[in-house]
């Protein structure tokens, strides 16, 4: 946003003038009807010590404005009043009772505190952020599928913790840019606010560290470390499913960070409400801020990504070839990049120019490579990883419900994704015979029709296998 970032106004200014300045920016950023409905009725009351008190018609007004225009107001206040600026809403003439009106509302809802320094300790400079500096906004291509997620990400990077996008929850299929986008936020914040403590980690790392800390009797240290962050980015939060103790601890960390307006950023393969096995209180918190999805890229976006990538490799590839790749590799961006890299590899390994023929051959390799690389053991390992089951147990006589189900799903996917015979598949699962495999196949297929969760789980495992093998 093109707002003045200098502290331009002195504390003794007339509230009317301050509010007028605010309105100018607000008006430029909203449709006129919205502006007239929600902002014209507001009256400035006082301005003292960087606190602007304004009067609104009723409580609903506050809630509406806070829910829909908080980001804008935060920025406006910051640009007009400067660091430490605050806005207080007061209903009608009840100026003195401003806080008692919101008995059961958190004060933060009525008091927008922009003093970013308050309560923040000086950051340790040596906190390892784990960020990959290559993931930036600059090289993140904007497309229809990621528009909202990207816009929100940029807004968060400008004002971490104080936009209403907290937590910021990005979800979508594999290889669609979730990790890239959330790391771009982290990198941008690190660049803009070098003193902020930013950390990125996968849910798996978080879980492993937590388990280690239990063993080392250092759970407090572990949790205090994360509670001291300004920006916490956790990738693939769906892997907390089924890990109740880790969920409990994460819940505490979440609350502390959120209360102190620290930014929380999460990614997941599905929206919060579909995270079966995640505690309800976490699911509800995941929905507190902004949930945005990333969708597979359309043709134009795929072209733009290919062009950008090839340029970053310093090579020129004809549009004809890029179009061919973009038309044939459609489901995810990681595959798209993989194809380009393989094309380059093919060209340099064989000392050939990048020709249309070579591109065709490479695309074909990628498509056929998929079916040959996927084998039964690989399928079993992905199924076990996703369902949190020990791989060996699939080969044992174990009849525990979750193990039996994992075994059946692994058999089902082996039949679907490979050309191996029922007999061979049975042999991989502890020497079961072919009728067991048929039974498993039919049973999973039937249950998938009846049970949405199961269908989604199986489909997501399938996608994962296909992408990993891609
Ligand atoms: P996810 O976390 O959703 O599985 P990633 O963020 O790992 O996906 O993205 C996979 C690859 O695709 C990465 O190399 C990333 O840089 C690239 N990528 C994804 N989305 C975009 C985009 N919009 N523009 C450029 N590159 C992208
Ligand atoms: Mg990822």
Query: For the segment 328-373, what is each residue's pLDDT rounded down to a tens digit?
Result: 998 889 889 888 888 887 777 666 788 898 899 888 877 765 544 5
CA–centroid distance, 370 to ligand 1, in Å, is 20
Residue 463's H or E segment, with its range, is helix 452-469
- Give the residue, by CA position, lying nearest to ligand 1 atom 9: 177
Whether residue 398 contacts residue 424, with contact meaning beta carbons closer than 8 Å, is answered with: no
Please state, in angstroms and rounded to a whole number, the distance separating the CA atoms of residues 54 and 320.
59
Strands (E), 229-349: 231-235, 263-268, 290-294
pLDDT at position 160:
95
pLDDT at position 433:
87
Do 164 and 223 have their domain in common?
yes
pLDDT at position 185:
98
Do 168 and 231 have their domain in common?
yes
In this predicted structure, the answer to whether residue 11 has a pLDDT above a threshold of 50 is no
Q: What percent of the chain has pLDDT over 70?
A: 86
Please state, in angstroms and rounded to a whole number, the distance separating the CA atoms of residues 272 and 374.
30
pLDDT-based confidence at residue 125 (cuts at 50, 70, 90)? very low
Greatest Cα pair distance, the chain, in angstroms, is 85
CA–centroid distance, 176 to ligand 1, in Å, is 5
Do 269 and 380 have their domain in common?
no
What is the average pLDDT across 51-76?
A: 82
Q: Which of 123-132, 207-216, 426-435 has the highest mean pLDDT?
A: 207-216
Task: Tell me which of 420 and 89 has the higher pLDDT.
Answer: 89
Ligand 1, residue 267: give the atom nearest the CA. Answer: 2
Task: Tell me which of 13 and 224 has the higher pLDDT.
Answer: 224
Do 278 and 304 have their domain in common?
no
Ligand 1 touching residue 236 (CB < 6 A): no
pLDDT at position 119:
29
Do 290 and 303 have their domain in common?
no
Q: Quote the tokens at residue 196.
A: 């902020």
In this predicted structure, the answer to whether residue 104 has a pLDDT above a threshold of 70 is no
Count of domains in the chain?
4
Domain around 422: 376-468
Please state, in angstroms and rounded to a whole number, the distance separating the CA atoms of residues 123 and 196.
6
Do 240 and 345 have their domain in common?
no
pLDDT-based confidence at residue 60 (cuts at 50, 70, 90)? low
Choosing from 153, 295, 334 the residue with most ligand 1 atoms within 8 A of its CB, the one to mutate for a pocket test is: 334
CA–centroid distance, 210 to ligand 2, in Å, is 21
pLDDT-based confidence at residue 132 (cuts at 50, 70, 90)? very high
Query: For the segment 72-82, what is each residue's pLDDT rounded down to a tens digit?
Result: 999 899 999 99
Q: Considering the domain boundaries, does residue 367 fall inside one?
A: no
What is the average pLDDT across 52-78?
A: 82
Closest ligand (CA of 173): 1
Do 344 and 453 have their domain in common?
no
In this predicted structure, the answer to whether residue 268 has a pLDDT above a threshold of 90 is yes
Q: What percent of the chain has pLDDT over 90?
A: 54
Do 134 and 148 have their domain in common?
yes
Global pTM value? 0.57
pLDDT at position 349:
67
In this predicted structure, the answer to whether residue 124 has a pLDDT above a threshold of 80 is no
CA–centroid distance, 178 to ligand 2, in Å, is 5
Do 180 and 245 have their domain in common?
yes
Question: Tell me, what CATH number does 326's domain have?
Answer: 1.10.8.60
Question: Tell me, what CATH number does 38's domain have?
Answer: 3.30.300.180
Do 221 and 352 have their domain in common?
no
Whether residue 87 contacts residue 11, with contact meaning beta carbons closer than 8 Å, is answered with: no
Do 338 and 383 have their domain in common?
no
In this predicted structure, the answer to whether residue 239 has a pLDDT above a threshold of 50 is yes
Please state, in angstroms and rounded to a whole number, the distance separating the CA atoms of residues 6 and 71.
19
- State how far the alpha carbon of 104 is from the alpha carbons of 80, 100, 110, 261, in Å: 30, 9, 12, 19
Out of 237, 271, 294, a domain closes at 294
What is the average pLDDT across 100-127?
A: 32
> What DSSP line would sit under 325-380, residue for residue?
HHHH--S-HHHHHHHHHHHHHHHHHTT----HHHHHHHHHHHHHHHHHH--HHHHH
Please state, in angstroms and rounded to a whole number, the distance separating the CA atoms of residues 290 and 352.
48
Q: Considering the domain boundaries, does residue 98 fall inside one?
A: no
* Partner residues linked to 307 by β-bridges: none
- Give the residue, by CA position, lying nearest to ligand 1 atom 14: 334
pLDDT at position 316:
82
pLDDT at position 281:
97
pLDDT at position 12:
55
Query: For the segment 135-169, what is each residue's pLDDT rounded down to a tens digit?
Result: 999 999 999 999 999 999 999 999 999 888 999 99
By mean pLDDT, which of 46-60, 185-199, 406-420, 450-464 is the weakest?
46-60
In this predicted structure, the answer to whether residue 51 has a pLDDT above a threshold of 80 is yes
Whether residue 177 contacts residue 333, with contact meaning beta carbons closer than 8 Å, is answered with: yes
By mean pLDDT, which of 15-24, 105-114, 133-142, 292-301 is the weakest?
105-114
């Amino acid at each position: 946003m093109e707002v003045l970032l200098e502290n331009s106004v002195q504390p003794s200014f007339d509230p009317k003038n301050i509010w007028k300045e605010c309105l100018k920016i607000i008006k430029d950023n909203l449709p006129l009807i919205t502006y007239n409905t929600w902002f014209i009725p507001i009256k400035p009351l006082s301005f003292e010590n960087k606190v602007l008190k304004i009067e609104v018609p009723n409580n609903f007004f506050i809630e509406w404005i806070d829910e829909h225009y908080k980001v804008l107001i935060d920025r406006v206040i910051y640009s007009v009043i400067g660091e430490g600026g605050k806005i207080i809403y007061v209903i009608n003439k009840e100026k003195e009772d401003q806080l008692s009106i919101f008995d059961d509302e958190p004060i933060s809802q009525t008091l927008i505190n922009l003093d970013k320094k308050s309560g923040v300790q000086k950051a340790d400079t040596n906190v390892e952020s784990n960020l990959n500096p290559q993931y930036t906004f600059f090289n993140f291509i904007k497309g229809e599928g990621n528009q909202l997620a990207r816009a929100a990400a940029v807004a968060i990077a400008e004002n971490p913790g104080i936009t209403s996008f907290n937590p910021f929850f990005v979800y979508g299929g594999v290889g669609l840019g979730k990790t890239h986008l959330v790391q771009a936020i982290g990198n941008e914040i690190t660049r803009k606010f070098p003193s902020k403590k930013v950390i990125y980690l996968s849910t798996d790392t978080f879980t492993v560290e937590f388990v280690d800390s239990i063993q080392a009797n250092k759970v407090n240290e572990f949790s205090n470390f994360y509670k001291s962050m300004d920006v916490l980015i956790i990738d693939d939060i769906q892997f907390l499913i089924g890990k109740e103790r880790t969920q409990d601890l994460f819940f505490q960390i979440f609350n502390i960070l959120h209360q102190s307006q620290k930014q929380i950023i999460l990614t997941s393969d599905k929206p919060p409400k579909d995270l079966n096995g995640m505690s309800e209180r976490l699911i509800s918190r995941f929905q507190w801020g902004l949930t945005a999805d990333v969708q597979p890229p359309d043709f134009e976006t795929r072209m733009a990504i290919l062009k950008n990538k090839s340029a970053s490799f310093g090579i020129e590839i004809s549009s004809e070839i890029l179009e061919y790749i973009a038309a044939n590799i459609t489901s995810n961006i990681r595959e798209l990049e993989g194809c380009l890299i393989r094309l380059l590899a093919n060209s340099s390994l064989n000392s050939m120019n990048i020709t249309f023929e070579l591109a065709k051959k490479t695309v074909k390799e990628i498509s056929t490579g998929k079916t040959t690389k996927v084998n039964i053991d690989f399928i079993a390992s992905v199924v076990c990883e996703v369902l949190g089951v020990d791989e060996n147990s699939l080969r044992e006589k174990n009849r525990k419900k979750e193990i039996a189900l994992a075994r059946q799903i692994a058999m089902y996917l082996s039949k679907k994704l490979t050309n191996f015979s029922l007999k061979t598949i049975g042999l991989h699962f502890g020497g079961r015979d072919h009728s067991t495999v048929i039974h498993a196949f039919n049973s999973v297929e039937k249950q998938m029709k009846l049970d949405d969760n199961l269908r989604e789980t199986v489909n997501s495992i399938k996608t994962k296998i296909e992408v990993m093998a891609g």
